[in-house]
Amino acid sequence: MIPYKAEDVDDPTDALPVVTIGLIVLNFLVFFYELALDSGQFDSFVNAYSLVPCEYSGQCAVFAGTPSPFWLTLFTSMFLHAGWDHILGNMLFLFVFGIHVERSMGAPRYLAFYLICGLAANAAEILTGIGSNLPGLGASGAISGVLAAYLRLYPGSRIRTLVPFGILAWGTSVPAWIFVGGWFLLQLFYQLTPSDPNSGGVAYSAHVGGFLAGLLLVPLFVQSHRVERVRAYHDSWR
């Protein structure tokens, strides 16, 4: 299912979600830079600035030319993407859910929350692939934390989605707790399903780690009066 709108969570102040917009713009700027590189430069850039778990355990036979200090990749990897499908999917989820979580926390708190969830996701990827030399990249770990925050704050809202059916798509509305909860259970299932750790693909451990961090950290970052304002606004229209 492809989400495109969260219902029942409009902020009556229509505060501009500057951090969410800024993150989307920054991710696209980095992606456009990647597109401008030739294949050799692209591989070097991705290997240097993505997250390589074995570099953190000291088990890499050959290092990928990461910047010094190498822990910068904990941050830089959050802004790299492997292709159009990767970045468009991530940025769509960030936009649909991030604008409401940002308005519930305020811009500075939301930015800190986003980055911490991204760090937790990367930590989970390192711990579950301690000897892996495969580069991990993408914003999905941090965005998983945003999804968890949305689930805790607005579980009763509804998510407008498109369900692809061949070349057509069917529009429907799904309760947030089903959409987000189902998404997380799917990530957990794939993480627990045996697979070759060197085969590459989606870093489900990062999704799970970011989501769990988001669930735990929401109370530390949310501003309750902002959430109550949104809920009161919609209660007044029912």
Write b or e for each residue in 16-35: b if 16 or more Cβ atoms lie within 10 A of its Cβ, otherwise e. Answer: ebebbeebbeebeebbeebe
Q: Residue 62 has what pLDDT?
A: 61
Q: Which CATH number applies to 2-194+201-235: 1.20.1540.10, 1.20.1740.10, 3.30.300.30, 2.60.40.3620?
A: 1.20.1540.10
Cα angle 5, 8, 12 (rounded to 5 degrees) comes to 105
What is the token pair recorded at 164?
Answer: 């692809």
Q: Residue 9 has what pLDDT?
A: 72
Which residues are bridge partners to 160 per DSSP? 5, 173
Q: Residue 27 has what pLDDT?
A: 97
Provide the strand spans (E) within the chain. Answer: 2-7, 158-165, 168-175
236: Cβ contacts below 8 Å, ≥ 6 apart? none
Virtual torsion, Cα 151, 204, 82, 214, nearest 10 deg:
30
Q: Residue 202 has what pLDDT?
A: 74
Q: Residue 194 has what pLDDT?
A: 66
pTM of the model: 0.90
Distance between CA atoms of residues 136 and 204, nearest Å: 11
Please list the ranges in the chain whose pLDDT falls under 70: 11-13, 61-65, 68, 194-201, 231-238
What 21-28 contacts at long range (C-beta under 8 Å, 24+ apart), as own/partner pairs, is: 23/94, 23/98, 23/114, 23/139, 24/91, 24/94, 24/95, 26/79, 27/79, 27/81, 27/87, 27/90, 27/91, 27/139, 28/87, 28/91
Q: Residue 200 has what pLDDT?
A: 56
Distance between CA atoms of residues 9 and 97, nearest Å: 10
Q: Residue 227 has what pLDDT?
A: 79
